[in-house]
Structure 1
Amino acid sequence: MNLDPDKFEDLKKAEYYHLLALTNTNLNYGDQAVRNFLESRQIYIENGLEEKVAETNLDLANLLLTMEGENRMYKSYLNEFASYSRKSKLPINFVKLYKSMGTADLFDGKFTTAMQHFRKALEYNRISRDSLLESTIRCNMAIVYSDIIELPESSAVCIAEAKRFRPKNDSGTLCNILINESSLYRSLGKYKIALDKLFEAKAVPLPKYERKTRLVILENISSLFDSIGNYEKALEYRNQYVKVNENLGEIGQTLYINNLINRLAVKERESENLRLKIATYSIAATLGGIIIISFITYKNITRKRKLAEQQKIIETQRLENKISEQELQHIDKMLETQEKERQRIADELHDDLGSMLATLKMNFQHLELREDLASAEKKWLERTDELIDQTYQKVRSISHLKNLGVAASEGLLQSVNRMAEKMSIPGSLQVNVIPFGLTNRLENTTEVTLFRIIMELCTNAMKYASASEINIYLNQHEDESLNILIEDNGKGFDVSEITRKDGIGLKNIEKKIEQLGGTFTIDSTPGSGTTLIIDLPI
């Protein structure tokens, strides 16, 4: 049964083309999928469906990234999705955006930038908690660690996390995890386990990207057999690769297969049954031996150089850790000193200066009772009495602000609510507190530290960002983690140009949170406000 999309209403037609594009993507018909996406996108634009346009832009960008010769065209669509993400401010859109940006960096060979984007995607996913995206991002990071940076321990951690977050029924992610595990074991020289993982991946039924994934698996199996000297199997799986990939260039395939056949013949000449072929392949064998010896020598030299560099890095890290510990101790002392100084000032204002003002007021009231005072003198006394009242109220207000903290009976949430009430100024500044799941108390020292950090960040938004609205999100998750997100509508700033300011400073806040085992993320653009994210295990 053939469907005629021209008979559909606009929105139904757009959905039809979008689904058709996804189907063609899964079947590896990239050119047709691009045409379908563009048809769907145009209808969404004409109907003003901004969210659907953004979704299609992201699908187009991700598809064009994987298409040879077309992967430069993805940028305009990804940039449009980035603009929509900043406008919508939905964390899930930022997860998808930074994941795609990291993938694009991998294609461009910008591996450091790619890892930064993947980590940023993970930070936003702490709020969105999308398990499929989490698993996919961890898989991408594992590839970089095992194949490029050569940090197998980090790759193993990423793979373990990818397994933990993988949705149970998602066979595509399972297949990718197995391929990544194979790559990890190959980098460790465990070729037998690497092959076993690839055969496991080969047996996984795939609902989408079936042919493209099969090509990756078959090519890696052939390459592994090649590495262990089993050229018969290497040739067998290379031929399977050729059959699956109907569009592979004939010249490239012929050269590769001829190379495998020659290497197979070199191995076979060692057998007594093939003495007649020794003369034919002796030159090839000699050249092959020279190449292998040269390669092994090069690898040994490279390995020694890397070991020396790694040792230097380890020593540098040790020194940095010592410096970091000293800085953290300094921050603790500074916070403790600030807390004592706040308390001392509050006590002096309340007890000493407050009492003196109260006594002064009583004396003035006695003077006002005298009957022999002239009318002008009474006016001066009344005016002075009003000034004393104003000064007394000001002293009380300063005393309470200086003494603002986490009371033992209140906890973090109530203290933050109280702070928001005192900071809010009708018509000028509104501070909102949005809690979720914050039912359990934290350790008192942790609550005090977090409260001071939140107050410092909100004060910065008032003083430096000229914000008129500050939102504080306090989220306590079931996995015993705390997420604090503070966003303002201020003027924003360039994150790369952060300098130390008054107070404990953003850099010191970051170090203090790291000392508590958490992470601190800053996302800001000039003119677009600032978002600060704190993630903390509890």
Structure 2
Amino acid sequence: MKSLLLYLGLFWIVPISVQGQVQMNKDSLLRLMPTAKEDTNKVLLYINIGQQYEGTDPETAKAYYRQARDLSRKMNYTLGEIRFITNYTYLLNMQGRYDSSIQLNLQSVALARQINHTEYLAKCLFNSGTSYQYAGMYDSAIIQYEEGKKVFALLKNEMLEARSKDILQLLYAELHRYDKAIELGESAIAYFRKTGDKYPLALSLSNTGLSYVSTGKLDMAVSYFKESLALGKEIGDLQIETTNMLNLGDCLIQTNQYSELLPYFKRALELSQIMGAKESEAIANRGLAIYYLWKNELPLAKKHMDQALEITANSDQRVQHRRNLETFSSVLFAMHRVQDAEEALRTSTILGDSLNGELIQQTTLQLEKKYESERKDNQIRLQQASLKQKTTLNYMLIGGALALLLISFLLYLNYRHKQRLQVQRIQELETEKQLMATEAVLKGEEQERSRLAKDLHDGLGGMLSGIKYSLNTMKGNQIMTPENQQAFERSMDMLDSSIKEMRRVAHNMMPEALLKFGLDTALRDFCNDINQSGALKITYQSFGMEGVQWEQSTAITIYRIVQELLNNTMKHAAARTAIVQVGHTPEGTSITVEDDGKGFDPLILKGARGIGWTNIQSRISYLRGRWDVQSEPGKGTSIHIEINS
């Protein structure tokens, strides 16, 4: 008489809390219906409302689910149709319509595969397994469950894992592996106690209690059934309440406590009739018949057995029908209707033999299918082995040919690579040769500049200074007319200007500040000299130049680059202002020279033959740098140079 609690929670794609607030939630959902648009949200609304009716009015719940299905199909909303099936088949299972439930659940599996949704696929596989299990088709149930377990493992979801354990414990219980069933059930119970989720906790308690009944631990089973019953009443779920009433009544029968049966089976009968749960109604009637048989109120006992037989005779609940016939025969024997009792018992025996025969036939067919499948697999393996032998040689020949081609190709690539390396090396040598030549020219140029600067400073500069000294001495010893005095003063001024110009030229040829104080100071002095001359207003900025130890050749080259760029600006750009920025980092040195002059088209540089641009390019190449010229007519010029360390 044990009644397995149908498992619903796993199927709730969109969970709704019905814990003590079913009516309030239902009313609020119903108020949304008149204004709901025909979209996916309305599908979910139909599903949610149906879930509120499941425990109290299954037919109304089914009506809402069908509306969700129709709207989903109209919109081609596959997820909505899957949600319809997962909720609708729960009610079919509860009503004992397992064939219809199996068909729909398999359809949901196909839909989940179609949309390639892992979570829905796992749930639909478990739903199919549950329907197969209720129908007694355990091998098919195992196939669905095992595939579902593999998919669930990919999700890494503790809640779904706990609910799948609760489902699997029922299967292990059907296979009489009660220790494994209890292990799974206790694991699920522990998780739901931790989360405080009352609905799945009630399910797990009831299902685990059945395994304790099967192992003879009735005290443990009763405590679990009572806790589950209390939770079912708290959340207002009639199905949970009905199932636990039946299970507690069964425990009372097993312990011969017949006097306490009435309230349990009477309440279970009332709830079953409200929900339209025919199998539960038949079991409750049979329980009441046993109670009245014990009280020797035989007419009432027969009345309830007639009602139970009427239900099972017109359904596919043949196992329950056989049990009803056995109990009915006991009632008839008590009424001294021996012939009728023996007929009922004989019918029960025939039905039992038929069920056993079908089970044996089903097992035999499964074994035959398994044998035939293995025989075909062996034939396929032999054919594959023969084919493999034939193709192996072909593969070896093809592989050898491909290997030969590959080796030839690699040798060719190696040859081409060596050629490219040789060409690259030649180019590098030519570049290095050019750089060495450039370096020699630049060094020679700087040496000549240095020599000329010294000659000017020491030779011509000394001579001019001597002349100035002599003239000053002569001035003190001669009496000159005012006109001669004025001419003499002009000559002295011109001599001073010549000395200054000579010193400026010598300084530009080899600035002393560059050799004594470094590049940054030399560039700053050079810009200040131009500012003082009034030829151009220059803003000089430097970054990271403090304390940098430059090679003399590098410092001189950078100085000459900036010098040449500013000379070009003063000669050709007609600029009023210019900016010089020099920055140094561990990665290299950057130089930027900008002016507000008349600008030019940078394309003319490609054909330029001027000494200035040629010198700049040669010096940049010598430093292995790169430069970028940005200019437009009337918009000034910006030249940026990057020199790697």
Structure label with greater radius of gyration: 2
TM-score (norm 1): 0.46
TM-score (norm 2): 0.39
Larger helix proportion of the pair: 2
